[in-house]
Amino acid sequence: MYDLNLLNKEEKDLLSNWEGVYKKGLLSLWILLSLNNKEMSMSEIKDFINDITDDYLLVDDNSIYRSLRKFYTLEIVDFAMKPNSKGPDIKIYKLSKSGEKILKAFIQRNIISIYYKDKINLLFKGNI
């Protein structure tokens, strides 16, 4: 892990701004990835994202809920109600066929075809 003490206050501020925008852009990817071949409730999606990113992406309930609501309207995700003995029924989300296709295309076009290239890996390594 990069030692943040090597950055001065201004650099830390710039890095924090950049990371904020970058992480915000990643939320949709992680939500859809969490539902890839799995069905999950909102809290399970949140735990999955926090867990798989080692708490790098600490997402709040509202952000996930807002995204899921939009994805549901756009038919990217579906949900079913699951009875809950402890309280109100829980929405269990899953990717729709359309969502699966979009996620697959996104990963192929924006992740695999870019970050999996040796050239790009060398570029990253040169900066570490």
**Positions in the binding site for another protein (CB under 8 A):** 24-25, 28, 70, 72-75
Per DSSP, the chain holds a count of helices (H) and strands (E) of 6, 2
CB of 103 to another protein, least distance (A): 12
CB of 118 to another protein, least distance (A): 29
| Closer residue to another protein (CB): 16 or 110 | 110
| Closer residue to another protein (CB): 7 or 100 | 100
Taking the CA of residue 108 as centre, how many other CA atoms within 13 Å lie in the half-sphere pointing to its CB? 6
User: What is the number of other CB atoms lying within 10 angstroms of the CB of residue 91?
Assistant: 17
CA distances in angstroms from 75 to 11, 67, 125, listed in the order given: 41, 12, 39
| Closer residue to another protein (CB): 46 or 71 | 71
| Closer residue to another protein (CB): 28 or 53 | 28
User: What is the number of other CB atoms lying within 10 angstroms of the CB of residue 95?
Assistant: 24
CB of 54 to another protein, least distance (A): 23
CB of 27 to another protein, least distance (A): 8
Q: Report the alpha-carbon distance of residue 90 to residue 39 in Å, rounded.
A: 12
